[in-house]
Amino acid sequence: MEVVIVEDAAKGGALVAQAIARLLAGRPDALIGVATGSTPVPVYEALAALARRGEADLSRARVAQLDEYVGLPPGHPESYRSVLARQVLEPLGVPEGSFLGPDTAGDIRAACEAYDRALAAAGGVDLQLLGIGTDGHIGFNEPCSSLTSRTRIKTLTERTRADNARFFGHDVGQVPRHVITQGVGTILEARHVVLLATGEAKAEAVAATVEGPLSARCPSSALQLHPHATVVADEAAASRLELAGYFRRTFAGKPPWQGI
Instruction: Answer yes or no: 228 catalytic.
Output: no
Minimum CB separation of residue 193 from ligand GLP in Å reads: 13
Minimum CB separation of residue 165 from ligand GLP in Å reads: 11
Instruction: Answer yes or no: 107 catalytic.
Output: no
- Give 108-168 as a DSSP string: HHHHHHHHHHHHHHTT--SEEEE---TTS-BTTB-TT--TT--SEEEE--HHHHHHHGGGG
The catalytic residue among 68, 116, 126, 142 is 142
Instruction: Answer yes or no: 163 catalytic.
Output: no
Distance (Å, rounded) from C-alpha 257 to C-alpha 25?
14
Distance (Å, rounded) from C-alpha 249 to C-alpha 43?
24
Minimum CB separation of residue 171 from ligand GLP in Å reads: 17
DSSP for residue 138: B
* Residue ranges in contact with ligand GLP by CB under 6 A: 35-39, 66-67, 131-133, 139-140, 160, 164
CA atoms within 13 A on the CB side of 152: 14
What number of residues does the chain have?
260
Closer Cβ to ligand GLP, 164 or 209, answer by number: 164
Minimum CB separation of residue 29 from ligand GLP in Å reads: 24
Closer Cβ to ligand GLP, 9 or 24, answer by number: 9
DSSP for residue 196: E
Closer Cβ to ligand GLP, 47 or 132, answer by number: 132
The catalytic residue among 68, 135, 163, 234 is 135
Distance (Å, rounded) from C-alpha 241 to C-alpha 115?
36
Instruction: Answer yes or no: 137 catalytic.
Output: yes
The catalytic residue among 137, 163, 192, 226 is 137
- Using DSSP's 3-state secondary structure scheme, residue 231 falls into strand
Active site (catalytic) residues: 67, 135, 137, 142
